[in-house]
Amino acid sequence: MRKIYLFCDAGMSTSLLVKKMQDVAEKHNLSVKIEAFPFVKAHAIITEERPDCILLGPQVRFLLNEMQEKYKDLGMPIEVINPVDYGVMNGENVLKFAIKLIKENEKNK
C-alpha cells in the first residue's frame, strides 16, 4: 500500500481534498493510504511513517525547497499541489500527480 501524505497550514481544507482523492482511489481499486496533516507535525510523521509521496498545500509552498533538502536522504518525492486543482478540490488530478511522482521516483532509484 502506497502512502500519500498532504501537509498544509492547519490540515482542514486539505482534509476535504483527501476525501475526494480517496473516492477516486476506491473507484479505481487503488491500494493507497491518503492522509492530511498540519505542517507543524510534518517532521515526526515523515520520519516515522516514511510516506511514498509528500504533497504540500499551496499555502505552504514556500517550504518546498527546505523540505526537499531536509528529507532528500529519505528518497521520497516532495512537491506542491497545483493551486488550481487545490482550489477546485480536484481529487482525481491530485491523485494522478501523486502516483506519477511515485512511479518516477521508483524508476529513478
Among residues 4, 6, 8, 56, the one annotated as catalytic is 8
69 backbone dihedrals φ, ψ, rounded to 5°: -70, -45
Using the structure block, give the residue that is written with the C-alpha cell 505542517: 39
DSSP tally for the chain: helices H, then strands E: 5, 4
**Residue 101 in contact with residue 86, Cβ under 8 Å?**
no
The reply to whether 8 belongs to the active site is yes
Beta partners for 34? 4
Catalytic residue numbers?
A: 8
